[in-house]
């Protein structure tokens, strides 16, 4: 086991040092987001829940941490021609805002089915929009073309060491705000967020358990953990527009080794969790952001004896960019 651990560690794309460096680098730009709690939700879940409200982050999602770290890590010559990325919205807005702060152009490839409010965020922060089909292949191909034409650097939404380190700053803040957390539950998509969170949290306290929450209609992380290798789904079906990506080469090793389990939930559970966030916590949380609460309240979590000992649970409310109309249409169904 000792030997295995020594072999694995160097393969991770970030560690506690790079995450602490990221924290210092991005501190002048980001919001230190509040931790919310609710006695009503504590009673409902039977746990003490601590909600890390990244919906209040600049750009409305955690993505600004990673984008900021990536863009401010680069030297002036490297970024002179700007940056390019592909994203369903939150990473796109984050890159646009970080690029604006750095004073460089941002070229953003967005799939046609991205929520309107997320596209508006990109435009508000000065990002130049290029449309793609709503597939990973089309997104990457369009981004490559833009990269060739402009000479801009690609800032991948999750398979990128500085992105992972930036997202990991959430754990540093959360464990500073609530030191006795024993479990952290994190939405999983490409794995950048959960990789950073797990690497930082387990470095600070190896006893902390990290749980991924994933839509059952996009359960590639769940399947990958079962198979012991990255599984890419041929079909994806979920309301959580931020959780449709597949794991990357840099995030998979962390997910494989440090994520204790994956809980999958159905879209109706996500929507019900969004409603609770609104009516009880009083915060606007997008479907991808509410999935952690959905997982905690799910039968799968409650009935699993492995989680009985979790008492103080951190839940990352990853973002709050949601069109009110879409929320309401979902609630009515």
Q: Which residues are catalytic?
A: 63, 88
Complex with a copy of itself: residue 55 or 83, whichever CB lies closer: 55
β-bridge mates for residue 167, sequence order: none
From candidates 60, 105, 190, 191, binder to a copy of itself by CB under 8 A: 60
Q: What x-and-dash track marks residues 65-104 binding a copy of itself by CB under 8 A?
A: ----------------------------------------
Complex with a copy of itself: residue 144 or 177, whichever CB lies closer: 177
Complex with a copy of itself: residue 124 or 308, whichever CB lies closer: 124
Q: Distance between CA atoms of 253 and 191, rounded to whole angstroms?
A: 10
User: Residue holding tokens 């004896």?
Assistant: 305
From candidates 129, 278, 300, 312, binder to a copy of itself by CB under 8 A: 278
Closest CA to 188 of 32, 278, 292: 292
Note whether 11 binds a copy of itself by CB under 8 A.
no
Residue 281 DSSP symbol? I
Q: Distance between CA atoms of 139 and 132, rounded to whole angstroms?
A: 6
CA distances from 92 to 144, 165, 176 (A): 15, 18, 29
Complex with a copy of itself: residue 120 or 260, whichever CB lies closer: 120
SS3 238: coil
Give least dist CB 316 to a copy of itself, A: 15
Please name the helix (run of DSSP H) or strand (run of DSSP E) that holds residue 263, with its range, or none.
strand 261-265
From candidates 6, 282, 305, 333, binder to a copy of itself by CB under 8 A: 282
Give least dist CB 286 to a copy of itself, A: 10
Please name the helix (run of DSSP H) or strand (run of DSSP E) that holds residue 132, with its range, or none.
strand 128-132
SS3 294: helix
CA distances from 265 to 25, 227, 271, 279 (A): 36, 19, 11, 21
Stretch that binds a copy of itself, among 98-106, 136-144, 224-232, 283-291 (CB under 8 A): 283-291
Give least dist CB 284 to a copy of itself, A: 4
Note whether 56 binds a copy of itself by CB under 8 A.
yes
Confirm if 277 and 290 have CB atoms less than 8 A apart.
Answer: yes
Binding positions for a copy of itself, 101-160, rule CB under 8 A: 117, 124
Complex with a copy of itself: residue 9 or 27, whichever CB lies closer: 27
Note whether 174 binds a copy of itself by CB under 8 A.
no
Q: Distance between CA atoms of 121 and 26, rounded to whole angstroms?
A: 20
Task: Give the footprint of a copy of itself on this chain (CB under 8 A).
Answer: 34, 36, 40, 53, 55-56, 60, 117, 124, 275, 278-279, 282-285, 320, 322-325, 327-328, 331
């Amino acid at each position: 086991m000792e030997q295995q651990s020594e072999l694995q560690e160097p393969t991770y794309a970030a560690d506690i040092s790079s995450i602490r460096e990221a924290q210092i680098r991005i501190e002048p730009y980001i919001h230190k987001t509040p931790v919310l709690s609710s006695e009503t939700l504590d009673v409902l879940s039977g746990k003490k829940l601590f909600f890390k409200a990244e919906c209040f982050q600049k750009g409305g999602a955690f993505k600004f941490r990673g984008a900021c770290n990536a863009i401010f890590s680069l030297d002036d010559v490297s970024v002179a021609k700007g940056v390019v990325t592909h994203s369903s919205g939150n990473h796109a807005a984050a890159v646009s805002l970080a690029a604006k702060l750095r004073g460089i152009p941002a070229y953003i490839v967005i799939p046609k089915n991205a929520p309107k409010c997320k596209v508006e965020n990109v435009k508000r922060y000065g990002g130049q929009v290029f449309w793609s089909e709503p597939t990973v292949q089309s997104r990457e191909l369009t981004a490559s073309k833009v990269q060739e034409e402009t000479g801009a650097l690609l800032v991948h939404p999750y398979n990128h060491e500085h992105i992972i380190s930036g997202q990991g700053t959430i754990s540093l803040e959360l464990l500073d705000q609530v030191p006795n957390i024993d479990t952290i539950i994190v939405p999983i998509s490409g794995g950048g967020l959960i990789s950073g969170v797990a690497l930082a949290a387990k470095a600070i306290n190896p006893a902390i358990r990290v749980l991924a929450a994933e839509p059952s209609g996009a359960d590639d992380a769940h399947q990958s953990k079962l198979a012991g290798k990255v599984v890419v789904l041929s079909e994806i079906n979920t309301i959580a527009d931020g959780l449709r990506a597949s794991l990357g080469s840099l995030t998979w090793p962390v997910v494989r080794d440090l994520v204790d389990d994956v809980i999958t939930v159905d879209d109706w559970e996500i929507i019900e969790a969004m409603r609770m966030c609104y009516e009880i916590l009083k915060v606007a949380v997008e479907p991808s952001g509410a999935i952690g609460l959905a997982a905690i309240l799910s039968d799968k979590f409650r009935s699993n004896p492995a989680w009985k000992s979790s008492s103080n649970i951190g839940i990352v409310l990853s973002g709050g960019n949601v069109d009110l109309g879409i929320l309401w249409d979902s609630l009515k169904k």
